[in-house]
Amino acid sequence: MTSAGPSVVIIGGGIAGLVCAARLGQLGINNVTVFDTGKNGPGGRCSSRSVNINGRIHIFDHSSQYFTVSDNRFAKIVSFLHSKQAIKIWKGDIGHLKKGKFEKDLTLTQAFVGTNGMNSVASSLASLINAKHNTWVSNVVWEDTSKKWKVDRYGYFDYLVIAHNGKCADKLMANAGVPAIHKLLQVRFSDKLNPKDQRMHLCSLWVLMVAFSRSLNLAYEGAHVDDRDISWIANNTAKLSETRSPQSPSNVECWTVISTKEFGSANKVPQENIPPNKAREVTNKMLTAFANVTGIKEGLPETCFTRVQLWGAAIPLNVTRGPDECEFDGIHNVGICGDWLVSPCIQGAAISGLSLAERIQKHAFKQGTLAQSTSLESAFRGTDMESIGCFPTDPKMIFNPPSK
Ligand SMILES: Cc1cc2nc3c(=O)[nH]c(=O)nc-3n(C[C@H](O)[C@H](O)[C@H](O)COP(=O)(O)OP(=O)(O)OC[C@H]3O[C@@H](n4cnc5c(N)ncnc54)[C@H](O)[C@@H]3O)c2cc1C
């Protein structure tokens, strides 16, 4: 869709970038293009894998596992996603596994998941906007004379949104002509936060997708785990099916196992090119840890599928300190959004995207103080989180699905 309003390019089609684009559209800015590297579609760290096991397609959530709600603005998005049947409430038991004992998380009000894997969230948002996937943007430059951003071979845009982090964003913005924005994007990879180092810290996590030939008959469906090597396990088969029938033609049970950040650092390799012997080693270690924490002493059933993936830039250990939920430079028409500006979770990414869209709209139409730049100060604070991110809840905020 084109319009007479300003043109906006968003680099990164994770939740932050997709929400930013959708909100810009709601605010009357429709000339928005999102570029994302995802081969099969946008989504970034909110995506799933479909795998053919013995002739049947099984879905694994290989990044985000579930999300919670504690913010009214995000609650509206959740309500929209539910109306589009993109999400559902995860009704199975979720909790903590300590020394082989499962304790249900009693602080958890509601957990949401994609109806067809977490990808449903991203594809529902992407259906509202102009998103181009399988596209890597490697060069952007601010042109002072035209007051526009030149973006690779894709032309000129009035506003640039950086909706990704890690090495890519650091490199992309190093010579873009906006040093304050680049400073914010500089990154350190570590499993430990060094509060003296005022840079974004990102940890790495391994994910094991494993299918067993029969059900493990565990009483819970998802658990944060107290273990040296693994930090989370979830039964995708139970999570994603409304009802499980013992007569189901497939007895295969698909699990996601996520490492600790320490294990991520200790076993780091190039994520695009994992050596086969490292993949085998990581698979074996994570399966051993899985057997230990679940207490399946007699040994795990036969596996019919295993695959590992390394998220090199998995979870931010710190977030920006300032009051703003995004950063925006109103001189050079460039903004940044992402989980690391609010809270490392789906809600945090969505709020950051919303916030940046509102800034851009105010700036474009010269409305009030939000039209100005944010502090652009590179100052960070640690977050209190599980290995796989934050799960903020508010007991007063319960979503009641409308009756059909
Ligand atoms: C293993 C794992 C488990 C997690 N579990 C949970 C959970 O259970 N609950 C929860 O709430 N959160 C969880 N998180 C965190 C959650 O996934 C993130 O907070 C959220 O998805 C971040 O969204 P984002 O839009 O900020 O960034 P991203 O999802 O990282 O999106 C950035 C996008 O930009 C793209 N990109 C990068 N460079 C370029 C380029 N040059 N050109 C074009 N595109 C580019 C990337 O491919 C990516 O798609 C988990 C994360 C991981 C890794």
| DSSP code per residue over 340-367 | GGT-SSHHHHHHHHHHHHHHHHHHHTT-
Give me the pLDDT at residue 69, please. Answer: 97
- How wide is the angle at C-alpha 325 spanned by C-alphas 322 and 326, nearest 5°? 100
How confident is the model over 343-399, as pLDDT tens digits? 999 999 999 999 999 999 999 998 777 678 999 999 999 998 889 999 999 999 999
How far is ligand 1, taken at its centre, from the CA of residue 278, in Å?
Answer: 24
Please tell me the residue having the least CA distance from ligand 1 atom 49. Answer: 44
Give the chain's end-to-end CA distance (angstroms, integer): 33
Whether 46 is in the pocket of ligand 1, judged by its Cβ within 6 Å, is: yes
Q: Which amino acid is at 368?
A: G
In the predicted structure, residue 297 carries a pLDDT above the cut 80: no
In the predicted structure, residue 248 carries a pLDDT above the cut 90: no
Where do the structural domains in the chain lie, given as residue ranges? Answer: 8-50+74-84+118-201+318-382
Q: How confident is the model at residue 298 (pLDDT cuts 50, 70, 90)?
A: confident
Q: How confident is the model at residue 249 (pLDDT cuts 50, 70, 90)?
A: low
How confident is the model over 196-241, as pLDDT tens digits? 999 999 999 999 999 999 999 999 999 999 999 999 999 999 999 8
Q: Report H helices in 27-118.
A: 72-83
Query: Residues 81-110, buried b or exposed e (16+ Cβ, 10 A)?
Result: bbeeebbbebebbbbebeeeebeebeebbb
Model-level pTM? 0.96
| Ligand 1 atom at shortest distance from the alpha carbon of 42 | 49
Whether 77 is in the pocket of ligand 1, judged by its Cβ within 6 Å, is: no
| Ligand 1 atom at shortest distance from the alpha carbon of 339 | 26
Whether 205 is in the pocket of ligand 1, judged by its Cβ within 6 Å, is: yes
Question: What size, in residues, is the chain?
Answer: 404
How far is ligand 1, taken at its centre, from the CA of residue 345, in Å?
Answer: 9
Helix axes 72-83, 119-126, angle to 10 degrees: 90
State the CB neighbour count (10 A cutoff) for residue 225: 23
Whether 340 is in the pocket of ligand 1, judged by its Cβ within 6 Å, is: no
| Ligand 1 atom at shortest distance from the alpha carbon of 17 | 25
Ligand 1 pocket mutation pick from 164, 259, 286 by most atoms within 8 angstroms of CB: 164
In the predicted structure, residue 3 carries a pLDDT above the cut 60: no
* CA 104/CA 221 separation, integer angstroms: 10
| Ligand 1 atom at shortest distance from the alpha carbon of 15 | 25
- At residue 39, the 3 state secondary structure works out as coil
**CA dist 360 to 76, 159, 327, Å?**
21, 8, 11
Give me the pLDDT at residue 194, please. Answer: 95
Q: For the structural domain made of 8-50+74-84+118-201+318-382, what CATH number should be given?
A: 3.50.50.60
The alpha carbon dihedral of 57, 222, 191, 210 has a sign of: negative
How far is ligand 1, taken at its centre, from the CA of residue 245, in Å?
Answer: 33
- At residue 38, the 3 state secondary structure works out as coil
Which three-class secondary structure string do you get for 294-329? Answer: HCCCCCCCCEEEEEEEEEEEEEECEEECCCCCCEEE
